[in-house]
Chain A
Amino acid sequence: MVGRKDVLDLNDFTAAEIEQVLRTADAMREILTRPIKRVPALRGKTVVNLFFEPSTRTRVSFELAAKALSADVVNISASGSSVEKGESLVDTVRTLQALGADVVVMRHSQSGAPYLVAQQVQASVINAGDGWHAHPTQALLDLYTIRDKLGRLEGLRAAIVGDVLHSRVARSLTFGLVKMGAEVTLVGPPTLIPPEAPQWGAQVSYDLDAVLPKLDVCYLLRVQRERQRQRFFPSVREYARRYGLTRERVAALPEGCLIMHPGPMNRGVEIDSDVADLPRSVIEEQVTNGIAVRMALLYLMLGGAGEGGGA
Chain B
Amino acid sequence: MGRRVLLRGGRVVDPAAGRDEVADVLVEEDRVAAVGPGAARAGAEILDCEGLVVAPGLVDLHAHLREPGFEHKETIETGSRAAAVGGYTAVAAMANTDPVADHVAVIEEVRALAARAGLCDVFPVGAVTEGMRGEAIAEMGEMAEAGVRLFSDDGRPVPSARVLRIALEYAKAFEATIASHALDPDLAEGGQVREGYWSATLGLQGIPAEAEEVAVHRDLAMARLTGGRLHLCHLSSARAVELVRRARAEGVRVTAEVTPHHLALTEEALASYDANLKVMPPLGSAEDRDALRLGLLDGTIDAIATDHAPHAVEEKEAEFDQAPPGTIGLETALAVVLTELVEPGVLTLARALEAMSTAPARILGAGDHGGPIEPGRPANLVAFDPGATWVVEPPFASRSRNSAFLGRTLRGRVVHTLLRGEPTVAWGKPTR
Interface, chain A (partner B; CB < 8 A) = 11, 81-83, 88-90, 108, 110-113, 115-116, 120, 130-134, 165, 168, 171, 194-197, 199-200
Contact = CB atoms under 8 A, between A and B. Distances in A.
B196 A116 contact: no
A90 B313 CA distance: 12
Contacts of A195: 200
B317 A115 contact: no
B319 A89 contact: yes
B314 A112 contact: no
Interface string B194-236: 0011011111100000000000000000000000000000000
A113 B275 CA distance: 11
Contacts of A83: 318, 322
B314 A111 contact: no
A112 B317 CA distance: 12
Given A82-B322, A112-B319, A115-B273, A196 B197 contact: yes
A115 B203 CA distance: 13
Contacts of B197: 196, 199
A82 B318 contact: yes
Contacts of B200: 165, 194-197
Interface string B279-322: 00000000000000000000000000000000000100111111
7 contacts: A11-B201, A82-B318, A83-B322, A88-B317, A110-B320, A116-B317, A171-B203
A111 B320 contact: yes
Contact of B203 (A116, A133, A196): A133
Given A82-B318, A83-B322, A88-B314, A112 B196 contact: no
Contact of A110 (B199, B272, B319): B319
Contacts of A200: 201
B215 to A, nearest CB: 21
Interface in B310-336: 314, 317-322
Contacts of A115: 272-273
A113 B203 contact: no
Given A112-B204, A113-B320, A165-B200, 14 more contacts: A83-B318, A88-B317, A110-B322, A111-B204, A111-B321, A112-B203, A112-B319, A112-B320, A115-B273, A130-B203, A131-B203, A132-B203, A133-B203, A171-B203
A201 B415 CA distance: 51
B315 to A, nearest CB: 9
Contacts of B314: 88
For B201, B204, B272, B321, the residue with the greatest tally of chain A CB atoms inside 10 Å of its CB is B201
A113 B321 CA distance: 9
Nearest to B314: A88
A111 B318 contact: no
Given A112-B273, A115-B272, A196-B197, A134 B203 contact: yes
Contacts of A194: 199-200
B203 to A, nearest CB: 3
Given A115-B272, A196-B196, A110 B201 contact: no
A82 B319 contact: yes
Contacts of B322: 81-83, 110
A181 B320 CA distance: 33
B136 to A, nearest CB: 31
B318 A88 contact: yes
Given A115-B272, A115-B273, A196-B197, A110 B321 contact: yes
Nearest to B204: A111
Contact of B201 (A90, A113, A116, A196): A196
A129 B325 CA distance: 24
A174 B124 CA distance: 52
Contacts of A197: 200
Nearest to A167: B203
Q: Name the residue in A81, A111, A168, A196 with the highest tally of chain B Cβ atoms < 10 Å from its Cβ.
A: A111
Contacts of B272: 115
Contacts of B319: 81-82, 89, 108, 110, 112-113, 116
A138 B314 CA distance: 32
A115 B272 CA distance: 7
B299 to A, nearest CB: 34
A263 B319 CA distance: 26
